[in-house]
C-alpha cells in the first residue's frame, strides 16, 4: 500500500510518520504539481491519497479521481467537502474522510477579531496610514450591548455565540431547527434588519448558498457582515456588499481569495488573507485527525466518512 500525502512533511511528528509507515510506504508530495502529471497516476499499487485542497485548487473532480489506479481511500484535511466529488467516490467504492471540528476555536476567534476590526474602524485606520482624525468617519463603536446575529448555529456558530456573549453582546440566531441554549432564535430576515453584526457560520451547499440573497443584503442598513466562510463569493453577492460598504451603508469583513489588497476596497471593509483556521493548535489537531482517518481503514473502524 502506498500512502501519498500532498502536504509538507515538517507538519507531521515523528510518531505520526512512524504510525502511518506501519501500514504503507509514505510518499510526500510537498510541491504543487500539474494534475495531468500527478506522481501517483503512474502507480499501479493500491493507494491512499491524503489530499490537501490547495494542491487541487479546491476542485478535485471525478475526471482526475477516475485516473488514479487502485485508489482505496481519499482523506481530505478540511471540514468542508464540497470541493471533492465524493458522490463519484461513493459510487465507485472509494472511501472519503474529512476532518471536522479541528479549527472551531481558531475560526470563532477570528470571527470575533474581524468583528472588532469593523467596530474600531481598523480598515480605515490602515488605509489612511493611521492619520488621526476625530471625525464621523473614524467614530468607533462599543460592542457591549450590541446584537450579533449568527446564521447557522453549528459547532463554530455556537463558539462564536459563546465568545460574543462573554463580551457582553446580545446573541440572536437562525438555524433550521431550534437549539437548546439561552440564545434567541429568530427569522433570517430579522437578523439582516436588526442585528448590529451578522456572522454566517453555516456549511456551504446548494440550499445554503441561497440564504444571503440580494433582497436580504438590501435590508442591511448601518450594520456589519463578517464572512468567515471559505469562499465568500460562493454564498452571497460579494459585489453588492462591497458597493453598500463603499456607500458607507454597511461594514464588511471577509478573507481574500484573489490578488487584491485591503487598499482596493473602499469604506469600512476589512479584508485579510485566509488565516482564520491557521493556528498552531488547529494544525496540530488537523494533522492528528488526518492521520487517524487514514489509519482507520486498516483497523476496520472507519471514522469521519463522508456520504455514509
pTM, to two decimals: 0.89
Position 232 pLDDT exceeds 70: no
- Inter-CA distances, 147 with 168, 188, 191, 199, 284, Å: 9, 14, 9, 11, 34
Q: What is the pLDDT at residue 290? A: 98
Which residues are within 8 A (CB) of 110 and not within 5 positions of it... i.e. 6 or more apart?
228, 275, 276, 277
Read off the pLDDT of each residue in 78-84 and give the average, rounded to a whole number.
Answer: 90
Q: What is the pLDDT at residue 64? A: 97
Percentage of the chain beyond pLDDT 70 is: 98
Span 2-102+280-296 CATH architecture: 3-Layer(aba) Sandwich (3.40)
Position 18 pLDDT exceeds 80: yes
C-alpha cell at 89: 467516490
Rounded Cα distance between 52 and 286, Å, is: 11
Class of residue 236 by CB neighbours under 10 A (exposed 0-12, middle 13-18, buried 19+): buried
Question: Which range (6-15, 121-130, 222-231, 294-303) has the least confidence?
Answer: 222-231
Residue the block writes with cell 499501479: 44
Read off the pLDDT of each residue in 117-139 and give the average, rounded to a whole number.
Answer: 93
Read off the pLDDT of each residue in 124-146 and give the average, rounded to a whole number.
Answer: 93
Which residues are within 8 A (CB) of 170 and not within 5 positions of it... i.e. 6 or more apart?
145, 146, 147, 148, 184
Q: What is the pLDDT at residue 307? A: 78
Bridge partners (DSSP) of residue 84 are 60
Read off the pLDDT of each residue in 7-18 and give the average, rounded to a whole number.
Answer: 97
The CB density around residue 190, as the number of other CB atoms within 10 Å, is 15
The CB density around residue 247, as the number of other CB atoms within 10 Å, is 10
Share the mean pLDDT of the chain. 94
- Conformational region of residue 13, where left means phi above 0, alpha means psi within -120 to 50, and beta covers everything else: beta
Residue the block writes with cell 460562493: 234
Which residues are within 8 A (CB) of 82 and not within 5 positions of it... i.e. 6 or more apart?
204, 205
Residues of the chain with CATH 3.40.50.720: 2-102+280-296, 104-272
pLDDT digits (tens, 9 = 90+) for 155-177: 999 999 999 999 999 999 999 88
Q: Confidence class of residue 206 from pLDDT cuts 50, 70 and 90?
A: confident
Read off the pLDDT of each residue in 226-255 and give the average, rounded to a whole number.
Answer: 90
Rounded Cα distance between 212 and 111, Å, is: 18
Q: What is the pLDDT at residue 256? A: 84
Bridge partners (DSSP) of residue 197 are 148, 224
Read off the pLDDT of each residue in 247-268 and give the average, rounded to a whole number.
Answer: 92
Q: What is the pLDDT at residue 12? A: 98
Cβ 217 vs Cβ 245: under 8 Å:
no
At the topology level of CATH, where does 104-272 sit? Answer: Rossmann fold (3.40.50)
- Inter-CA distances, 81 with 35, 112, 175, Å: 19, 25, 21
Position 128 pLDDT exceeds 70: yes
Q: What is the pLDDT at residue 291? A: 97
pLDDT digits (tens, 9 = 90+) for 33-75: 999 999 999 999 999 999 999 999 999 999 999 999 999 999 9
Q: What is the pLDDT at residue 109? A: 98
Which helix H or strand E contains 171, and what residues bound it? strand 170-174
Position 137 pLDDT exceeds 90: no
The DSSP secondary-structure symbol of 45 reads S
C-alpha cell at 294: 487514514
pLDDT digits (tens, 9 = 90+) for 107-116: 999 999 999 9
Count CA atoms closer than 13 A to 262's CA, side-chain side.
17
Cβ 16 vs Cβ 25: under 8 Å:
no
Q: What is the pLDDT at residue 87? A: 92
Amino acid at each position: 500500500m502506498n500512502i501519498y500525502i500532498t502536504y509538507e512533511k515538517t507538519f507531521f511528528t515523528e510518531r505520526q510518520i512512524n504510525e502511518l509507515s506501519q501500514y504503507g510506504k509514505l510518499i510526500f508530495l510537498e510541491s504543487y504539481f500539474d494534475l495531468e502529471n500527478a506522481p501517483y497516476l503512474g502507480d499501479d499499487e493500491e493507494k491512499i491519497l491524503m489530499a490537501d485542497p490547495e494542491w487541487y485548487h479546491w476542485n478535485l473532480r471525478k475526471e482526475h479521481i477516475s485516473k488514479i489506479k487502485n485508489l482505496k481511500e481519499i482523506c481530505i484535511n478540511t471540514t468542508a467537502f464540497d470541493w471533492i466529488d465524493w458522490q463519484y467516490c461513493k459510487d465507485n467504492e472509494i472511501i472519503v474522510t474529512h476532518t471536522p471540528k479541528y479549527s472551531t476555536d481558531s475560526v470563532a476567534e477570528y470571527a470575533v477579531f474581524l468583528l472588532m476590526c469593523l467596530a474600531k474602524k481598523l480598515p480605515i485606520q490602515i488605509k489612511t496610514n493611521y492619520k488621526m482624525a476625530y471625525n464621523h468617519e473614524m467614530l468607533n463603536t462599543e460592542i457591549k450591548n450590541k446584537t450579533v446575529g449568527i446564521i447557522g448555529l453549528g459547532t463554530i456558530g455556537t463558539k462564536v455565540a459563546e465568545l460574543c456573549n462573554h463580551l457582553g453582546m446580545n446573541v440572536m440566531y437562525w438555524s433550521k431547527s431550534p437549539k437548546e441554549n439561552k440564545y434567541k432564535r429568530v427569522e433570517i430576515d430579522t437578523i439582516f434588519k436588526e442585528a448590529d453584526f451578522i456572522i454566517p457560520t453555516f456549511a456551504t451547499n446548494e440550499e445554503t448558498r441561497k440564504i444571503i440573497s440580494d433582497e436580504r443584503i438590501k435590508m442591511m442598513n448601518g450594520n456589519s457582515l463578517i464572512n468567515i466562510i471559505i469562499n465568500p463569493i460562493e454564498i452571497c453577492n460579494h459585489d453588492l456588499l462591497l458597493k453598500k460598504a463603499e456607500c458607507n451603508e454597511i461594514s464588511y469583513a471577509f478573507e481574500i481569495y484573489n490578488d487584491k489588497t485591503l487598499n482596493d476596497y473602499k469604506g469600512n471593509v476589512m479584508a485579510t488573507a485566509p488565516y482564520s483556521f491557521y493556528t498552531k493548535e488547529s494544525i496540530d489537531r488537523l494533522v492528528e485527525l488526518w492521520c487517524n482517518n487514514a489509519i482507520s481503514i486498516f483497523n476496520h473502524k472507519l471514522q469521519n466518512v463522508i456520504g455514509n
